[in-house]
């Protein structure tokens, strides 16, 4: 091993003037010729070979000197991400420190005192880690401030590469995965002997005690204090990522899709028909979810007489007409105004971002997601997260199993599970549909079911026209499974909705708007509801279509639900809007794209203004969760326009792109939600199909303006967006069995990888009619995943809990299913008796997420400039809206656990002694999403550690700690992004307080207002 350049030979000559500078123990100057004797001095195991009289070169060579022997054509250009001279110097420094560390650690417990004494005579400084652990590290801190080295006998050295002169060795203790402890750095210099003799050298007593760090498990190279290029690059990356999170916060806050924005999450929200009372409340959980119960309430047994407990008369009287008005602006977005005068002045309550603004924000997301350094950073963080979970599993698997077994009554089968993505027209399995068709052919063969070609046809005549009888029908005859011939053939998959390949049978049995007004589909829907209620623990969110072909579709759909009494405590609805404008335009049904927007959203604004105008629609919307956008994502999107026209001018036969559809759905939902919340009605979220196939840029739209998405398998190709989905815990409803049949085989599905990395994923069935074989398709989805991905029982229960959290069920129901504090993050919100997820798993997930969010602590890496990345100017009007909810809804009650959000800038306050104030402290503008829940604030003032982790910051092992206090000068430059690296001036001036000297070793939290390792 040689540290001299291989292609450079030392120049011979006795003249001492021409001799190269000798090696200093902690310095290496790139571009300088070293003699063989210098290399031997450095490589020798005997420190006494180094002549202390040899002159030292105390100043490193300049960059010009280091490149003097490099041809201009071969000289690397200095860029923000690469500096050739710096890279070369760091490689040599790394090699030297590895050797020095090995040399020091190889000494036995009775180390050679002569070598130690010789090392004290060196003029340079070397920092060694002394960590209290079971490996035998010992540390002695004297009361008079002097420090002496104790003998060390490490059994193994693990941790980061020792690249900086300030290096630390992390200790991973059993049961403490997720929080790493680092011992104080100890400095050995030439004055140490004098210090031990009582000289009182001030420098000898100075030590830096770093806080709990993230970087010791990043594995990234540490750099010296002057490593500006690397620190600058990572600082830029952190700024960019936080900026993207801020943009998402703006859109989610504006559209009221946040966790506290929906009035139905208030404890006083009336659920009608009410859910059944719990059979057992566990002694602690409240049994009632409704403060108001209708008189003489009808009772029915779950699984029987679906809809008999619904009486439309109980829903009257309806709320009165609103004084607010609405109109469609020139950009085809419905705007809401407080009065006609405000509408005349074009002053909406909250202005919606324009199409241009939306695309500018979208381009910013796409540009950063394709940035090379940012992608590398995100990929390494995701790899670290996956490895960290595997390590957690190795150390805590048996403890998790033991905790799970201690829970009485609860197991995977009787924890609540929500099918977060299932299409209503395919909610039954093939055998169920076949049995229903045969039953109708046997009992009602002469019933008129179809009018076609000017003729009324009975059910018997329909089957005679296709030459089939009830006896001929079988699963193979129906041919509705999509397992063999539909891979990458979405056109064939759509044909699988036609029983026996006949569209007329689909119209009869699987449509809501047909000659018999969807009666057959309502009957089979009740049968599926009965099965769900009998299982008790399975819930669904069925997606049903509004095509936008006619403005009457909403009233027909609402009448179908209300007239057939399709109400069940296990069922909620989402509205899916197929992206089929090109089909409508080609058939001459409409002139431009604006007509689709009008047909989809105008009835919703009408019923919000005056519920009496569409009474059945008003009742149905109380069970509607949100909107979905569906179609084949793999279709090519050819851009014909340099600048997209407004919908009124989009009159070509080409379908608008995915991003165009999503913007106008978002914009109109945002306006609608503002009005509905002001009236005390439930609001809606946007949960589209996204990332199943096609352009990965679709995922950028999902990140920017959607509450959650379905599928998302293309996240595996865009690591930065995947990392952002993790940071904000955006819900992803994955359907591996569906993907296996259409776009991605099961073994390549990233579902298991996403779960290990900590993404907020849930399992869903998508289309049981095409993919399922059993009566319980959701259990089938879980069972296949458990077999293929080797999910444990705890993993399955965690996925089930995610599905409930992602779902649109009312918060009172979620509290009944998951515990009364389920809205709180981490262990505080976990009730193992309800979810069967051990606290150790929840604590690991939450602390890992909080540590990742510390990467983007504004006070450390990015100081917000005035006016930078702010919400629209008029967004603050949301705070000024006087929300007057209709009875019996009360948005703001006495329960401090619930606070209704008023936009992205609301500050949620709790009483000082409440549990929430300790778990979720907010010291600045609230960020929507998980960043806000964890208290990560974009305030320019750095938050103290207690403001982020609460008054106590327990590790995974459950042992809390209070950090030590370290003083620092006010004028120190920004710290580098790597852990354990402190600016050289901080090393000279940071002095631990006397009160914390005894606790620094174990806790190591500094009083910088920072966490020294919170970024890697």
- According to DSSP, residue 22 is labeled B
**123 catalytic residue (yes or no):** no
β-pairing, 685-686 vs 761-763, is: unpaired
- According to DSSP, residue 507 is labeled H
Asked whether 418 and 809 are in contact (CB, 8 A), the reply is yes
Region of 980 (left: φ > 0; alpha: ψ -120 to 50; beta: rest) is left
Question: Environment class of residue 520 by beta-carbon count within 10 Å: exposed (0-12), middle (13-18) or buried (19+)?
Answer: buried
Query: For residues 772 and 737, what is the distance between their CA atoms, to the nearest angstrom?
Result: 8
What are phi and psi for residue 620, nearest 5 degrees? -65, -40
User: One of 711, 802, 846, 891 is an active-site residue; which one?
Assistant: 711
Name 16's Cβ contacts closer than 8 Å, sequence gap at least 6.
none
- What sections of 641-792 are H helices per DSSP? 658-679, 698-705, 719-727, 736-742, 751-757, 768-771, 777-789
In the block, residue with structure tokens 């540290």: 3
Asked whether 940 and 864 are in contact (CB, 8 A), the reply is yes
| Two structure tokens written together for 209 | 């005690």
Name 114's Cβ contacts closer than 8 Å, sequence gap at least 6.
48
Asked whether 793 and 407 are in contact (CB, 8 A), the reply is no
DSSP string for 178-218? T-BB-PPEEEE-TTHHHHHTT---GGGG------SBSGGGT
Asked whether 1007 and 970 are in contact (CB, 8 A), the reply is no
Selection from 795, 761, 791, 796 nearest residue 779 by Cα: 796
User: What's the residue count for the chain?
Assistant: 1016
Spell out the SS3 assignment of 787-850.
HHHCCCHHHHHHHHHHHHHHCCCCHHHHHHHHCCCCCCCHHHHCCHHHHCCCHHHHHHHHHHHH
Asked whether 991 and 967 are in contact (CB, 8 A), the reply is yes
Query: For residues 353 and 904, what is the distance between their CA atoms, to the nearest angstrom?
Result: 15
Give how far Cα 394 sits from Cα of 391, 737, 847, Å: 5, 28, 18
Other Cβ atoms less than 10 A from the Cβ of 904: the count is 29
Spell out the SS3 assignment of 601-625.
HHHHHHHHHCHHHCHHHHHHHCCEE
In the block, residue with structure tokens 């394709």: 370
Residue burial 644-674, b: 16+ Cβ < 10 Å; e: rest: bbbbbebeeeebbbbbbbbbbbbbbbbbbbb
Query: For residues 116 and 190, what is the distance between their CA atoms, to the nearest angstrom?
Result: 11
What are phi and psi for residue 489, nearest 5 degrees? -130, 80
- Give me the helix-helix angle, 355-369 and 719-727, nearest 10°: 110
Query: For residues 127 and 164, what is the distance between their CA atoms, to the nearest angstrom?
Result: 9
DSSP string for 427-488? -S-HHHHHHHHHHHHHH-TT-EEEEETTEEEEHHHHHHHTT--TTT--HHHH----SSS-TT
Question: Environment class of residue 775 by beta-carbon count within 10 Å: exposed (0-12), middle (13-18) or buried (19+)?
Answer: middle
The residues annotated as belonging to the active site are: 711
């Amino acid at each position: 091993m040689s540290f001299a350049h291989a292609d450079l030979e030392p120049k011979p000559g006795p003249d001492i003037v021409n001799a190269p500078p000798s090696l200093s123990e902690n310095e290496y100057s790139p571009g300088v010729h070293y003699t063989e004797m210098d290399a031997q001095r450095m490589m020798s195991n005997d420190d006494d070979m180094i002549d202390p009289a040899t002159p030292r070169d105390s100043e490193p060579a300049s960059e010009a000197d280091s490149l003097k022997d490099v041809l201009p054509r071969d000289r690397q250009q200095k860029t923000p991400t690469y500096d050739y001279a710096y890279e070369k110097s760091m490689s040599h420094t790394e090699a030297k420190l590895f050797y020095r560390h090995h040399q020091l650690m190889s000494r036995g417990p009775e180390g050679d005192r002569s070598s130690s004494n010789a090392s004290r005579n060196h003029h340079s400084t070397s920092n060694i880690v002394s960590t209290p652990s079971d490996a035998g590290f010992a540390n002695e801190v004297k009361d008079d401030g002097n420090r002496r080295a104790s003998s060390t006998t490490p059994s193994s050295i693990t941790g980061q590469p020792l690249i900086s002169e300030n290096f630390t060795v992390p200790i991973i203790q059993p049961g403490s995965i997720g929080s790493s402890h680092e011992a104080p750095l100890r400095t050995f210099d030439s004055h140490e002997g004098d210090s031990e003799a009582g000289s009182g050298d001030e420098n000898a007593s100075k030590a830096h005690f770093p806080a709990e760090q993230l970087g010791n498990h990043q594995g990234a190279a540490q750099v010296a204090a002057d490593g500006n290029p690397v620190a600058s690059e990572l600082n830029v990356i952190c700024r960019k990522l936080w900026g993207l999170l801020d943009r998402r916060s703006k859109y989610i806050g504006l559209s009221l899709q946040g966790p506290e924005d929906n009035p139905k999450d208030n404890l006083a929200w009336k659920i009608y028909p009410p859910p059944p009372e719990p059979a057992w409340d566990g002694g602690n959980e409240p049994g009632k979810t409704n403060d108001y119960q209708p008189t003489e309430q009808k009772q029915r047994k779950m699984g029987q007489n679906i809809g008999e407990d619904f009486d439309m008369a109980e829903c009257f009287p309806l709320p009165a007409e609103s004084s607010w008005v609405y109109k469609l602006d020139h950009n085809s977005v419905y705007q809401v105004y407080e009065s006609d005068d405000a509408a005349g002045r074009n002053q909406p309550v909250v202005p919606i971002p324009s199409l241009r603004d939306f695309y500018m924000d979208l381009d910013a997301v796409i540009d950063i997601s394709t940035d090379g350094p940012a992608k590398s950073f995100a990929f390494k963080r995701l790899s670290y997260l996956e490895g960290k979970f595997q390590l957690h599993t190795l150390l805590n698997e048996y403890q998790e199993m033991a905790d799970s077994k201690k829970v009485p009554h609860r197991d995977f089968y009787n924890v609540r599970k929500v099918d977060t993505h299932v299409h209503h027209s395919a909610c039954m399995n093939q055998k169920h549909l076949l049995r229903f068709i045969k039953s109708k052919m046997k009992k009602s063969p002469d019933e008129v079911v179809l009018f076609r070609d000017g003729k009324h046809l009975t059910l018997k005549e329909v089957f005679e026209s296709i030459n089939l009888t009830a006896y001929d029908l079988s699963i193979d005859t129906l041919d509705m499974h999509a397992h063999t011939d539909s891979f990458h053939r979405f056109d064939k998959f759509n044909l699988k909705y036609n029983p026996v390949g006949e569209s007329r049978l689909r119209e009869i049995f699987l449509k809501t708007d047909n000659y018999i007004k969807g009666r057959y589909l309502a009957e089979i829907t009740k049968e599926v509801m009965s099965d769900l209620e009998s299982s008790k623990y399975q819930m669904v969110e069925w997606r049903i279509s509004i095509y936008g072909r006619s403005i009457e579709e909403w009233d027909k759909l609402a009448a179908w639900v209300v007239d057939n009494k399709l109400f069940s405590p296990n069922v909620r609805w989402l509205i899916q809007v197929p992206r089929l404008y090109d089909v409508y335009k080609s058939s001459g049904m409409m002139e431009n794209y604006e007509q689709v927007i009008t047909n989809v959203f105008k009835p919703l604004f009408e019923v919000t203004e005056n519920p009496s105008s569409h009474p059945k629609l008003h009742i149905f919307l109380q069970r509607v969760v949100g909107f979905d956008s569906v179609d084949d994502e793999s279709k090519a999107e050819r851009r014909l326009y340099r600048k997209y026209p407004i919908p009124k001018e989009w009159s070509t036969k080409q379908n608008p792109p995915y991003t165009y559809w999503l913007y106008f759905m978002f914009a109109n939902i945002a306006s609608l939600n503002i009005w509905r919340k002001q009236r005390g009605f439930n609001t809606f979220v946007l949960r589209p199909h996204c990332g199943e196939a096609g352009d990965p840029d679709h995922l950028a739209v999902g990140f920017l303006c959607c509450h959650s998405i379905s599928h998302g398998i293309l996240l595996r190709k865009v690591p930065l967006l995947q990392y952002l989905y993790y940071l904000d815990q955006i819900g992803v409803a994955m359907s591996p069995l569906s993907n296996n049949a259409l776009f991605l085989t099961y073994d390549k599905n990233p579902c298991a990888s996403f779960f290990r990395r900590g993404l907020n994923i849930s399992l869903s069935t998508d289309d049981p009619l095409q993919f399922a074989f059993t009566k319980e398709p959701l259990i089938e989805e879980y069972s296949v995943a458990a077999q293929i991905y080797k999910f444990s029982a705890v993993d399955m229960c965690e996925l089930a809990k995610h599905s409930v959290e992602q779902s649109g069920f009312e918060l009172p129901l979620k509290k009944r299913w998951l515990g009364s504090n389920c809205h709180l993050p981490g262990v505080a919100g976990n009730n193992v008796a309800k979810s069967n997820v051990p606290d150790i798993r929840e604590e690991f997930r939450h602390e890992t997420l909080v540590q990742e969010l510390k990467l983007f602590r504004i006070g450390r890496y990015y100081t917000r400039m005035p006016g930078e990345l702010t919400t629209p100017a008029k967004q603050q009007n949301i705070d000024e809206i006087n929300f007057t909810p209709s009875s019996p809804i009360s948005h703001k009650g006495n329960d401090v656990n619930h606070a209704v959000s008023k936009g992205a800038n609301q500050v949620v306050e709790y009483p000082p002694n409440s549990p929430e104030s300790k778990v979720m402290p907010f010291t600045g503008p609230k960020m929507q999403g998980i960043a806000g829940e964890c208290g990560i604030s974009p305030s320019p003032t750095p938050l103290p550690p207690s403001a982020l982790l609460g008054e106590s910051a327990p590790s995974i092992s459950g042992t809390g700690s209070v950090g030590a206090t370290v003083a620092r000068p006010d004028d120190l430059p920004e710290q580098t992004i790597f852990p354990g690296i402190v600016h050289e001036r901080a090393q000279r001036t940071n002095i631990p307080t006397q009160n914390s000297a005894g606790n620094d070793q174990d806790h190591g939290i500094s009083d910088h207002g920072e966490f020294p390792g919170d970024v890697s």
